[in-house]
Structure formats: structure tokens, C-alpha cells
Structure 1
Amino acid sequence: MPHSELHLEVSQVFVYPIKSCRGISLPSARLGDTGFAHDRQFMIVRVMPNGTYNMCTMRDTPRMAWIHTALEVEDGVEILVIQVEGADDFVTIPMFPSAKYLAHCPIIDTKVWAAPVDAYEMPTVCSEYLSEFLGFECKLVYRGPTERPVRGNLPPSSADNAKPIVAYADGQPFLIATEESFEDLNSRLPQLLPSIIRFRPNIVLKGVPRAWAEDDWTKIRIGGTVFHLTSRCPRCRLPNLDLETAVPDEAQPYKTLQGFRRIDPGSKYTPCFGMNAVANAFDGEIAVGDKAEVLSLGEHFYMKPQV
């Protein structure tokens, strides 16, 4: 079937306000300068004995799977609600702190993997709440004033938004996946995964005529927004983590993916699931039910980001 004839639509939309904590399924999400406006704007950092701050993720701190987030509006201001598993109490902060608010927040230096970033330290009440739950001293931080450019695979130099930025995502503003590929993976597993959210996508599409067709997409349109699919997404073992128990499986689904998804010549020994993407717009929204169209196909070669 020619790619222009595919009947694709958005089936799920996710944001993860705090990096590597529980995500939120939304009926629609607003575009921003670093991806979805509500996506990975915050991060938890561990306070180290030498005074530095290390990024925390569910890879090294599985209990982060039990840090839940929700979005509310109070007096016209968007609020991020943070509540840990099993607790009656919670903390709240502005989802988008104002300049006046940030003027009282210290700026610290940390890293997202090897990439240096700065960050605004959020109020002590947030850090104390999370430190008590995680069992070590940590701080909640908000994206700092210095822009962090996307490195590695980029859109064509002639494309709109050819020099994209990210907040605290690992590397790219969006991750796009398909229901059909998730279903194919599930059909190969000894035990079904309950949700594609294990892979932390932002946009999930359905209506693909065959699983893994997205491997060859280079540009798609969702609603009125064009996305450049910059690379396949090599996966770590994070999807092995059961979000309900906060306990990682020793093998699955990584072992199964290793058996048939080591398909990118730029990442020969790592399985791929989903496509990294950059949008050509900073405004508008993506909603469940939006129609999608594949605009172009091509080859992909993953390039590891270099600082």
C-alpha cells in the first residue's frame, strides 16, 4: 500500500512531567519548544557527597516508578501534583514557574547523561518529600535558562526547526510508536505487557498495515504538524521495569527484542522500538483521534549523541 494511502490516527498521547517518573495519558497535549509542553520539564537529582548533582532515573532507582504526577488548574494557573505510591499527602508546584517565582530559586549545574545542563532548584518541601520516599537526599529541579540542543540525529538542514532543543528528555523531543508494533512484540513475549507506556512514547499511532513499518518513515504529518523522524530509538532495559511493583524483570521484554529488533546499522547490538522525532512547530496540539499521514520514507542510521 502506498504510504499516502495509509489510514493512520493518534490512539494515545503521553507526557512525563518529571523525567523517569510515572507518565500521564492525556486526550491531547500542547506543543512547546522542547517537545510537548508538559514533557520532562522537571528532573530529580541526587545530592552526592562531593556536592555535585546526579540525574536519577528508574534505571538506577526503580522506586521512581511509584512517583505519580497529575495536572490541575488553580485560579488559571497550571499546577503539577506529585504524589508517591501509598501516600495520602502530596506536594504541588507550578507546572510552568513564572520569572518572578524562579527569581527565588537557586540555579545548579548537573547533567543529562553526559550533556551539561543547568536547572532551577524547586522549593525545599518538594525535595524533602521525594528524599523521604526515595531514601536519599535529592532535589527536584526545573529546566534551567540555558538551552540544550539536540545532538546526534537531526532533521534535514533545510527543515523548519532545524536546530531543535530538548529539556530533560534523553535526546530527542518526541518518541513516536505504533500499536501494531507493540502488538507484534506482545505476541512474541512469554507474558503480555499491559501497556505501551513501558516504552515511554509521547505519541502512539494506529492503522499501520504491518508492524514495524515506522522503521522507514522519515517524515509524517499529524493534524497540521509535520514531524521529522530523525532516527530509530535504541532501547535500554528500562521497559523491563514493572511499573506497578517497581521491580524489573530479569529478561523481558529486552531479551525478546534482542532476538529480532537489532536492525539499525548505527546501533548494531541494541534493539530498537519507536522512532525519535522533531516537530516543525512550537504551538498547536496533538490529540487522540488526529489523522496522520506518512509523507516520506528513507533509510535510518542511528548516531549516538556527542557532547
Structure 2
Amino acid sequence: MIDNMKVTKLYVYPIKGLRGIPLQSAQLGPQGLEHDRRFMLYRIAKEGKLKKMQLSEHAELSLFEQKLDGEQIIVRYVVPEHPLRPTEELPESNLEVPVSPDMTSLEVIEVDLHGSPAIAYRMGQQYDSWFSACFGFACILVYIGDGKRPVLGTTLPPKAPQSQTGGWFSKITSSVLGSSSQDEAWLTFTDVAPFMVATEASLRNVSARMSDGSQVDMCKFRPNIVVDGEDEWSEDYWAELTFKGEDRLLLTGNCGRCTSLNVDYDTGRPAAGEQGAVLKKLMKDRRVDKGVKYSPIFGRYGFLPPGETGFAISVGDEVAVAQRQEERSTWDWPGL
């Protein structure tokens, strides 16, 4: 166990894909940081089919700022220097989205994210129209509400402990697909796990690859929790973290990265120059998970231990690696 690790940044993303909100403190629960990724945008494609909207395919998502203001999420569309849309067609005011909408009057729809389906709630015309005007095509805003997306594959869900000494990574339980108990892990609109943990040391390694001297912003990697205090890429082997000496977070999988790393958040387009080649630069030596061999790895996915209800966390809190793996995790989420 290494001392002197600290939490350096916290981020929450109430509406998935939009710019993150930096926090000084947050409440962690089984489905992630409070308010994290409870909403998502879907594009209405041919014949009314819904297609997920994420930064890898819609770089313009990076132009939307969001902030929490009491019981509202305030969304602002930031018009870039070279607009993507005629400015006269853009909304004149910001959008206010309730943090916890009344679902009784909302249309129930079926959605899918990475092959993991769920029931969700369509927020309605005023929200759809606002976003559609910004994008220039029809899209809808949906709320996960009481929907539960299943965790797929065998490697990501945390397993119930078999004994005091068996630990979370017992070979006996590693091949079991979840459990049927009430403690079984499930997701909102987080990709494949409730939490994403990244490190400052590994980000410094990425920035050092930029031959023009530019710095890569952590926002491109969209973590929830950022820590500092160990060597670059040491997180590949982290299995469990403790915060303030007691609160536990299980790290169960690697994050394989995509073209979202190349997005310019100021233009809403793929970045020019070195900043547009972040993914390519990581391809050289960070394709280290044989289960997702074409994607470079940056960061670890995490869950609370089953049965634990959560805890508060703040920037500056002490962090320690309580358990390590001898080998890297192997990705097995079907279709990803």
C-alpha cells in the first residue's frame, strides 16, 4: 500500500456526452456519482430508429456546457468561432432540465446503449426541439429514471465475496456472471460501469507525447475520479482503492479508448495538429488489453462493493491502493 496519493479532480456528467462539471465534493452511490449520466441524447434516424449520440460520432456534443443549479441542470450551447450551424437558427436562451423529473407524465420508451437495453423516459418536445435546433437534425433527450441497464460480460461486475480471505478476485467467482440477488450491479447511462478512475501521472505521459508542447486536457478522457501519487500506468493493475482509509472502490476493468480523444472542445470538430492525434499516439504502446486489442487503454472502470450504499468524496482526500492484480484485466463486454 502506497501512501500520499490524493484525489485531485472530480467530474460529473448529468447529460451524457456534454462537457463535464468539475466538483470539489461528490456523493458516490452504487450507480455512480450523484446525478451522473442520468440523461442521454439519441438521434432519430431512418424509420424512427434511435441511435446513441456520443462524442466519437458527434464531436459537436463538446460545445454544450452544463452546470448544476439547485434542482436544475442549466445547459448552454457555446457557439464556436466558426459556427457549425447558422447562428440565427440556434436557441436564444439556455435550457433548464430538472435533475429529477416527474416521470408520471413522460412517454416510456426502450433504449439501448452498447447492447445493454433499458426502459427510459422521453423528456418531451421542449427539450427535443432545443437540442434539435442546436444540432440541425432531430434528436430526443431521455431520462433513465428507474430503468436499469444490465452489466454485460463476466469481467466487469463485482462478485460477492466468498470468504474473508477469498477477496474480490477469487478464481472461483471470476467466471460467474453476476448474481440474482438485489445486490447485482446495474447501470444508468454510464458506458459499462458506474465509475471511471484516471491518474495525473498517466495524463502527463500522454501530454509528453505531443511534439508541439501542447498539453492534453483531462476532460478528453471523461473520468469521474482523478488521483495522483503513483507512477504512470500503475493503475492498470489496481483492483481496489480505499479513500480516507476506509471507503472502498473496486476496479474491475480497463477503459479502451476511441476517437473522442481527438475532439476539439472549442470548435466542436476533430482537433487539428497534435491534439487531433491523441488516439494514434496511444496506439503505439497502450494496446495492452488482449480483450480489446485495437483500443489503447487509459483509466480503470469501478464499482462499489455489492451491498454498500456509498460515501462522500472530496478533492484532497487520501487514496491508497488496497489490492493489486498480478496481471491486467481482460475485456469481454460483448460487441465492444
Give the alignment's TM-score, normalised by structure 2: 0.83
Partner SS for 2:284: helix
Asked if 1:236 is matched to 2:258, the reply is: yes
Q: Is the 8 A contact 1:177 1:201 kept in 2?
A: yes
Structure 2 counterpart of 1:255: 280
Give the aligned residue type for 1:261: R
Structure 1 residue aligned with 2:149: 148
Relative to its length, the structure with more strand (as a share) is 1
- Is the contact made by 1:225 and 1:279 (CA closer than 8 Å) also made in structure 2? no
Match of 2:57 among 49, 60, 63: 60
After TM superposition, give the deviation of residue 243 of structure 1 in Å: 0.9
Q: Is the 8 A contact 1:239 1:254 kept in 2?
A: yes
Whether the aligned pair in 1 keeps the contact of 2:119 and 2:144 (CA below 8 Å) is yes
**Structure 1: runs of 5+ lacking an equivalent:** none
Following the alignment from structure 1 to structure 2, what is the Cα–Cα distance between the partners of residues 147 and 289? 32
2:189 match: secondary structure: coil
1:51 to 48, 51, 61: 48
Residue by residue over 1:31-64, the C-alpha shift from the partner in whole angstroms, topping out at 9 and shown as x without a partner, is: 2331112111000011223122221112222111
Q: Does 1:27 align with 2:48?
A: no
Code of the aligned partner of 1:47: I
Structure 2: gaps (5+ residues): 80-90, 162-167, 169-180
Residue of structure 1 equivalent to 2:292 = 267
Cα RMSD (Å) of the superposition?
1.9
Which whole-Å CA distance do the structure 2 matches of 1:282 and 1:23 have between them? 24
- Tell me whether 230-239 or 8-17 shows the greater mean CA deviation: 230-239
* Contact map agreement 2:12 2:23 (CA 8 A) in 1: yes
Q: What residue is the counterpart of 1:85 in the other structure?
A: 78
Answering whether residue 220 of structure 2 is matched by residue 198 of structure 1, we say: yes
**1:6 partnered with 2:3:** yes
For 1:304, the aligned partner's letter is D
Taking structure 1 as the reference length, what is the TM-score of the superposition? 0.90
Closer, same or farther in 2 for the Cα pair 1:193/1:163, shift >3 Å? farther
Counterpart CA distance in 1 for 2:328 and 2:126 is: 45
AA in 2 matched with 1:213: S
Amino acid at match of 1:90: N
- Counterpart Cα distance in 2 of 1:278 and 1:197: 21
1:112-191 matches, cutoff 5 A? 112-152=113-153, 153-158=156-161, 163-191=184-212
Contact in 1 for aligned 2:5/2:319 (Cα 8 Å): yes
The letter of the residue matching 1:203 is: I
**SS of the residue 1:257 aligns to:** helix
Superposition deviation, residue 88 in structure 1: 5.2
Larger Rg: 2
Which residue identity does 1:177 align to in structure 2?
A
Give the aligned residue type for 2:8.
Answer: S
Greater than 3 Å deviation, 4+ residue runs? 159-162
Q: Does 1:285 align with 2:312?
A: yes
Question: Take 2:100 and 2:315, find their aligned partners in 1: how far apart are those partners?
Answer: 24
Q: CA deviation at 1:194?
A: 4.1
- CA–CA distance in 2 between the matches of 1:6 and 1:188? 28
| Aligned-partner Cα distance in 1 for 2:62–2:292 | 27
Q: Could you say which residue in structure 1 is the equivalent of 2:324?
A: 297
